[in-house]
Amino acid sequence: MIPKLLHIIWVGDPSKRPDNCIDTWRKFNPDLQIRIWGNDDLCNHRWPNAAQMQEMWSKELNGVADLMRWQFLYWYGGFAVDADSICVRPLDAELFDCDLFTCWENELAAPGLMAAGYVGARPGHPLFKKMVDDIRRLPTVCNDRAWKTVGPLRFTQAVHEFKPNDLTVFPSHYFIPRHHSGQTYTGSGRVYAKQFWGSTFNNYESLRALEFN
């Protein structure tokens, strides 16, 4: 089972952190422990991929967040969600009955790509040890965009290589009903969250100004 622990990462300028978004996860899930990872954690933890994090720091902060995510999911388990997302309904207990889950990024706009921003796992899942070890052996993580080298594409490739038989992949509309391409879910299925694609659109300033009831 997955611990009832919600992870959110924000590295970089703390004044730009979308606390209004983070508060929605607290509002709808008061029974969950919420752990916000930040600059102090990046500096003070003994990260196996610290060299890769340092390399990525000046390129894409979202890549640093991806590198942190794979490691702390291995250490602690829990459910990691993107900081630039809002929760719109309580997370059902059945999600935490899984050993490992994610969702598709979008079945139509990005078929086959698994989302890196919404991943739940039990502590010590070997998939994440494989990911951390594989990334550490790379000569560089900055020879392409972070979503390819350490993010969703890397995650998807690791799943296909490791073939975890305890993986559950939920529909994209659970957490990403609107893809950054504009592809939008209009069905009646469950929607737990909405993604605002802050890194993609560089819209954190406007995102912080939004009010969520």
Tens-digit pLDDT profile for residues 70-110: 999 999 999 999 999 999 999 999 999 999 999 999 999 99
Percent of the chain predicted with pLDDT > 90: 92
Q: For position 148, what pLDDT does the model report?
A: 98
Percent of the chain predicted with pLDDT > 70: 97
pLDDT band at 36 (very low <50, low <70, confident <90, very high): very high
Task: Output the DSSP codes for the chain.
Answer: ---SEEEEE--S-GGG--HHHHHHHHHH-TTSEEEEE-HHHHHHS--TTHHHHHHHHTT-HHHHHHHHHHHHHHHH-EEEE-TTEEE-SPPPGGGGGSSEEEEEEETTTEEEEEPSSEEEE-TT-HHHHHHHHHHHTSS-S-SS-HHHHTSHHHHHHHHHHH--TTEEEE-GGGT-SB-TTS-B--SSS---EEE--HHHHT-HHHHHT----
Render pLDDT for 111-131 as a digit per residue (tens, 0 to 9).
Answer: 999 999 999 999 999 999 999
What is the pLDDT averaged over residues 56-83? 97
Residue 77: which region, alpha, beta or left (left: phi > 0; alpha: psi -120 to 50)? Answer: left
Q: For position 100, what pLDDT does the model report?
A: 99
- CATH number of the structural domain 5-208: 3.90.550.20
Statement: residue 203 has pLDDT above 50: yes
Mean per-residue pLDDT of the chain: 95
Ranges of each domain in the chain: 5-208
Q: Which residue has the higher pLDDT, 207 or 174?
A: 174
Statement: residue 201 has pLDDT above 50: no
Q: For position 200, what pLDDT does the model report?
A: 52
Statement: residue 199 has pLDDT above 80: no
Statement: residue 144 has pLDDT above 80: yes
Render pLDDT for 160-185 as a digit per residue (tens, 0 to 9).
Answer: 999 999 999 999 999 999 999 999 99
Q: For position 197, what pLDDT does the model report?
A: 77
pLDDT band at 198 (very low <50, low <70, confident <90, very high): low
